[in-house]
Structure 1
């Protein structure tokens, strides 16, 4: 027999009797109506007593400490079954409609994904420290170290294609990210103090799936840098050219990172608000 939890609106209160394997010392009977139109139940200790249109579902613990469920109509027994506590709870859970949420295929390094109204998406992708080329005006600097970075993307889905609306980037120091992790300004150029990326004349491509966001990250790293938006990006007191020359073939100096005053939770909330 399958128990329909929708027809037993007070079942959660009854389940409290079995929490942690406890069994009442006094055998009590719970009467729960099957019909949706019911009177306000009378609750005395662990007993619920209700009636509706002559239909009743009575649930009690019998002398064998099993869950006994008896269905009656105007005093006539329609069914009478005994269940173990496990069978009873499993049957209740199986009768409750469950909603399953599945994310799309996410890119490597994704730490958070949020969707609003099915077509707006927020994506946060961590990029581990690495060494890359940096294009500064007409010069290419090899072996430039980057600190750990966090990208935030605002995406709009339209006719099965995804448009990148905004990109934000910040630097991180911690390897293990938590809500109170300190967030630092991106230490190079092409990024406003708010963290928003300045793309200049670069036109971002439309994406077929969220997992393709790595294409946008590569576009950012391969963009031409200049001295615009460099002021306050780091604490080195060096010009951008001097900074690139001084850190080649080294680890990025974490003491150069300039704290934004925000935690990771603050930065993510601000990004969504913008």
Structure 2
């Protein structure tokens, strides 16, 4: 007979589960089914909530992993912005609907995805279009020698998006066939500068065959 109060679980080779309960020197046995046993285990596990902190306006996806890693997707939310190509500044330049994906470890932004999605309500099936400008391959943004600021809160990503859009563009990764117009980059920008944002969806953008779910990963 056991000399202290305890609960012992016996699992036989054939999968039979027997619970031995010793309390005040009295031992009792009880058979339980595997499903009941698993339910008891699940209920005993405490899962702590993961706080994202304040999210940026337009955030539509948040994922958190081990080691302080996060992936946050945010809609840019502006359809006009000052845009720079080499030494030329295009003020109040029209933009399609842009979405960003930020890979973050602790306070450091480790990678950035940038894409164009359709108008209307965002869903996992929302169409994605080929990014019509430069410095993006697939969804991956090439930052070159530019360094992004560290962030202490995810809501600071709103400012980071504006910082990225304001960075000077060059011809890196620009694809003439990435738009329906098939123009050289400067000619494309000169054509777009006086247009409305809707013009992208009627005359410029090419569907990529991917959806917002592919962007979210």
**TM-score, length-normalised on structure 2?**
0.74
User: Does the alignment pair 1:188 with 2:133?
Assistant: yes
> Partner residue of 2:196?
251
Pick the structure with greater CA Rg: 1
Alpha-carbon shift at residue 262 of structure 1 (Å): 0.9
Alpha-carbon shift at residue 183 of structure 1 (Å): 1.0
* RMSD, matched Cα: 2.8
CA distance in 2, matches of 1:166, 1:242: 30
Q: Mapping of 1:1-274 within 5 angstroms? A: 38-40=29-31, 99-117=48-66, 119-157=68-106, 162-192=107-137, 194-231=138-175, 232-252=177-197, 253=199, 254-255=201-202, 256-269=204-217
Contact 1:189 1:229 in 2 (8 A): yes
Q: Any stretches of 5+ residues in structure 2 without a counterpart?
A: 1-18, 23-27, 34-44
CA distance in 1, matches of 2:113, 2:47: 36
Contact 1:154 1:167 in 2 (8 A): yes
Q: Any stretches of 5+ residues in structure 1 without a counterpart?
A: 1-32, 43-95, 270-274
Alpha-carbon shift at residue 202 of structure 1 (Å): 0.9
Instruction: State the structure with bigger RCO (CA 8 A, min sep 6), 1 or 2.
Output: 2
Residue deviations 1:103-142 (CA, integer Å, cap 9, x gap)? 2111111101110015000000012241112111111112
Contact 1:189 1:233 in 2 (8 A): no
Against the structure 1 CA distance between its residues 40 and 111, is the aligned structure 2 distance closer, same or farther, given a 3 Å change threshold? Answer: same
Alpha-carbon shift at residue 98 of structure 1 (Å): 7.5
CA distance in 2, matches of 1:228, 1:101: 39
Q: Which runs of 4+ in 1 moved over 6 A?
A: none
Alpha-carbon shift at residue 41 of structure 1 (Å): 5.5
Contact 2:100 2:112 in 1 (8 A): yes
Paired residues, number: 182
Alpha-carbon shift at residue 245 of structure 1 (Å): 1.6
**TM-score, length-normalised on structure 1?**
0.59
